[in-house]
Amino acid sequence: MCFLSADPELVVMTFPHLSRSLTGLIAGSAPVFHHRAFSVTAVAAAIQKMTRVRVVDNSSLGNTPHHRPPRVIHVYTKNGVGKVGDTVLLAIKGQKKKALIVGHKMPGDRMTPRFDSNNVVLIENNGNPTGTRIKVPIPTHLRKLEGDYSKVLAIACSFV
């Protein structure tokens, strides 16, 4: 409540980590970007339960807007960590749907691509992809992994 009339500089000083994010929102001030000399990212973990994911195919289930983002509720691996090529169970629009991980923010093996979002492709229970095209680049090392990935690679439009 009290921020409405506060001096923007004062707010920025007390909450230094908000220096970039809130400057645009405080009324009457221009965004102030404090540029670093190096890039930083948040701590990135692989995909596990309750991670929000991005559905990258053109299925209607993945693309219709919903008030909650799709979340992972189960990872089908021995440990609960999902990497590229693992199947997960998502909760989307109030229903459960299986999906295949095609990219995550966590760095993987050397010479494998790292993505800026946790990408996932919806899959039926029999392994057929729900959507028909994937616009986002798909890593080619999926081909060497053990599993049924040829169908997802067949509907992919670009490879990384």
Where does this chain bind another protein (CB under 8 A)? 17, 20-21, 24, 40-43, 58, 126-128, 132-133, 135, 140, 143, 148-151, 153-155, 157, 159
- Residue number with CB closer to another protein (91 or 155): 155
Place of tokens 């990212």: 41
Q: How far is the CB of 148 from another protein (least distance, A)?
A: 4
Q: Is 19 exposed, middle or buried (0-12, 13-18, 19+ CB in 10 A)?
A: middle
The 10 Å Cβ neighbour count of residue 54 is: 15
- Residue number with CB closer to another protein (31 or 73): 31
Task: Give the C-alpha separation, 40 to 37, whole Å.
Answer: 10
- Residue number with CB closer to another protein (80 or 141): 141
Q: How far is the CB of 150 from another protein (least distance, A)?
A: 4
Q: How far is the CB of 132 from another protein (least distance, A)?
A: 5
In the Cβ-directed half-sphere of 32, how many Cα atoms lie within 13 Å? 15
Q: How far is the CB of 57 from another protein (least distance, A)?
A: 9
Of the candidates 20, 21, 25, the one whose C-alpha atom is nearest the C-alpha of residue 6 is 25
- Residue number with CB closer to another protein (21 or 73): 21
State residue 142 phi and psi, 5-degree precision: -60, -30
